Structure 1
Amino acid sequence: MERSASLDIEALKMTQEQYILASQPSALQRPGCPAPYPVGIYGWRKRCLYFFILLLLVTMIVNLALTIWILKVMNFTVDGMGNLRVTKEGVRLEGVSEFLLPLYVKEIKSRRDSPLILQSDRNVTVNARNDLGQLTGQLTVGSDTVEAQCQRFEVRSSDGDRVLFSADENEVSIGTEKLRVTGNEGVVFAHSVETPHIRAEPFQDLKLESPTRTLTLEAPKGVEVNAGVGEFRASCRKELTLESSEGEIFLNAKSIRMPNLPHGSVDPLLSPGTSYPKHTVYEVCVCPSGKLYLSPADSASTCQTTNSVCLWS
């Protein structure tokens, strides 16, 4: 009885050992079974993998070094980079700045102690557009000219209340008290000029000249030419006309001189038996055409329509 019990215990132990051995993998090769294929990377594949890992590590180190160098060169800080600083008021640039692409800002201003300079190798153009993107105003500063394209161009005083100069399609207005032109040739107007007052500088002459055409002064209520201290002179190449359609022409002076009037002579065939003594006193005669001439003075008038001056006028 005891022997059978010990055999059963022995059989139970053998059964447990066989179960444990069956459940665990065994490195021992069973007789009659083929050798298993080794799992893993061996040989040249393993060397290539290590080489790529090493190359990736070197690339990461180089990229990190370049990034640190760029941060150092560009002077990256918490507030910005280089001459660029980000403040509560906006973006601040110090020194010379260059923009290669369009710049869209609301306001550009310089420091209080420094001017604002916009510089370009060619043209500097400032554009203004509406909500639809259409061009409404343009200011171009070139090497030869300064052009402004807008509906109305204005130049105001320092306080901004008074318009000093304005220009649009209809008119050009100058709001200053005095317009001064310092050029040697003066001012050239291609068409008419409308002004209530033309005055020269103190101790300077005022000259109105038309070199190749006529000079016309017109006013609905009269034209006044006044030289308070100096003299007034009107000269022309061909004819000087003083015309008054309804009123009169007054020559009011202490002496009126006409030094180059021609001396008239009567044709003896037209006035036979008439002789005039030689003397230096003459009278001023008027031909029917309006031409003036001098005739020897006598007790009676010597003006005749048959005078040579009137016949050839």
Structure 2
Amino acid sequence: YSPFLCLLIIWFIVCLDSPLVLQSDRNVTVNARNHMGQLTGQLTIGADAVEAQCKRFEVRASEDGRVLFSADEDEITIGAEKLKVTGTEGAVFGHSVETPHIRAEPSQDLRLESPTRSLIMEAPRGVQVSAAAGDFKATCRKELHLQSTEGEIFLNAETIRLGNLPTGSFSSSSPSSSSSRQTVYELCVCPNGKLYLSPAGVGSTCQSSSNICLWS
């Protein structure tokens, strides 16, 4: 068909208030050009993929026209109220993620994981992690550091338990101190910050020369 005849057919279909259908055995390509004939945008619909080549790609809501999805060379913006990832492996981000709210599905656990590197959460006004109706657990393979550069660290709870603390040795001049079974211990701190238990006495039994401090 000639270009004029094709335009006439398209105009006739549109005037009949019918859907405009473009069919091809391979793909359908729509090009946009400027007044100089240069290609400024292209949309290609193929059997395996839909490709758009343009400076900015937008998907808008039909009701109010707000942007639901936009992408350009600098950023991708998702304007929907909720971003839902249904894959079994979750979402994988190659670099940093900035979001005001992350929430798991009902009755599902929320898991933030970095399989091979560190997991870092930063905020200029603080990071808050809370479990309103359950326990909060932090486990690691090596060392767990709680550090405050300018403030203090508060442990505010009805009961604070420090399990599996080592018991240091204490040499007392009183021979009767070892005759009875020891039931009360003193919590001691080594110069390097390590905690250990020492048999409680009349005075403090913490010693910097304890076997725990020397071998830690």
Same fold, TM exceeding 0.5? Answer: yes
Deviation string for 1:215-242 (max 9, x for gaps)? Answer: 1111111111121112222222222222
RMSD across aligned C-alpha pairs, in angstroms? Answer: 3.2
1:111 aligned onto 2:18: yes
User: Residues 248 and 91 (structure 1 numbering): CA distance in 2 closer, same or farther, change over 3 Å?
Assistant: same
User: Residues 132 and 178 (structure 1 numbering): CA distance in 2 closer, same or farther, change over 3 Å?
Assistant: same
1:183 aligned onto 2:104: no
SS of the aligned residue for 2:69 comes to: strand
Q: Which of 284-293 and 121-130 deviates more?
A: 121-130
Q: Greater relative contact order (Cα 8 A, min sep 6): structure 1 or 2?
A: 2
1:135 aligned onto 2:39: yes
The answer for the alignment partner of 1:312 in structure 2 is 215
Q: Count the aligned residue pairs.
A: 208
The answer for the alignment partner of 1:91 in structure 2 is 12
Alpha carbons 1:139, 1:146 under 8 Å: kept: yes
SS of the aligned residue for 1:203 comes to: coil
Deviation string for 1:241-265 (max 9, x for gaps)? Answer: 222221222222212233233x132
Corresponding letter in the other structure for 1:286? V
SS of the aligned residue for 1:90 comes to: helix
User: Residues 169 and 202 (structure 1 numbering): CA distance in 2 closer, same or farther, change over 3 Å?
Assistant: same
Separation in 2, partners of 1:278, 1:121: 91
Task: Report the alpha carbon displacement of residue 212 of structure 1 after superposing the two structures with TM.
Answer: 1.4
Q: Which of 45, 48, 51 is residue 147 of structure 1 equivalent to?
A: 51
Q: Which of 283, 291, 310 is residue 186 of structure 2 equivalent to?
A: 283
1:295 aligned onto 2:216: no
Separation in 2, partners of 1:260, 1:311: 19
5+ residue gaps, structure 1, are: 1-83, 93-106
SS of the aligned residue for 2:111 comes to: coil
Alpha carbons 2:168, 2:196 under 8 Å: kept: no
Q: Which of 139, 148, 156 is residue 235 of structure 1 equivalent to?
A: 139
- TM-score normalised to structure 1 length: 0.56
User: Residues 252 and 170 (structure 1 numbering): CA distance in 2 closer, same or farther, change over 3 Å?
Assistant: same
User: Residues 165 and 308 (structure 1 numbering): CA distance in 2 closer, same or farther, change over 3 Å?
Assistant: farther
| Greater C-alpha radius of gyration | 1
Corresponding letter in the other structure for 1:279? Q
User: Residues 122 and 206 (structure 1 numbering): CA distance in 2 closer, same or farther, change over 3 Å?
Assistant: same
Identity percentage of aligned residues: 64
Separation in 1, partners of 2:196, 2:97: 37
